[in-house]
Amino acid sequence: MGVFTGSRYASQPVLQVEDSWGTFHPTIYGPSPFVDTAFNHYVVRLGDRFDLLANQFLGDPTLWWRIADANPQIPYPDNPLQPGSVIRIPVT
């Protein structure tokens, strides 16, 4: 299909999902291919964001998705993180 070429999800199964207008969209199926097995736990502070935490712990803010993938209980990684909550940080 080639829709996700170059993506970290390129090898994942792709389903065609129909929307309410009858248009089909390619949709990735299955868990993230990059589920880390080792984590550190981190207590969120006011102002924390996935990109800032990725820079602090992984050395690269563009790796924010690794923290997002490790915390599927947070459905929208763009939303502010709740101070005091505990999240997982993948061990590199």
User: Where do the domains of the chain lie, and which CATH numbers do they carry?
Assistant: 1-33 (no CATH), 39-90 (3.10.350.10)
Q: How crowded is residue 87: how many other Cβ atoms within 10 Å of its Cβ?
A: 21
Instruction: Report the C-alpha gap between 51 and 60 in whole angstroms.
Output: 8
Q: What are phi and psi of 23, to 5 degrees?
A: -90, 135
The tens place of each residue's pLDDT in the chain, 92 residues long, gives 455 555 566 666 777 877 788 888 777 666 555 555 689 999 999 999 999 999 999 999 999 989 988 888 887 777 789 999 999 999 87
Verdict on whether the full-model pTM lies above 0.85:
no
Instruction: Report the C-alpha gap between 5 and 76 in whole angstroms.
Output: 24
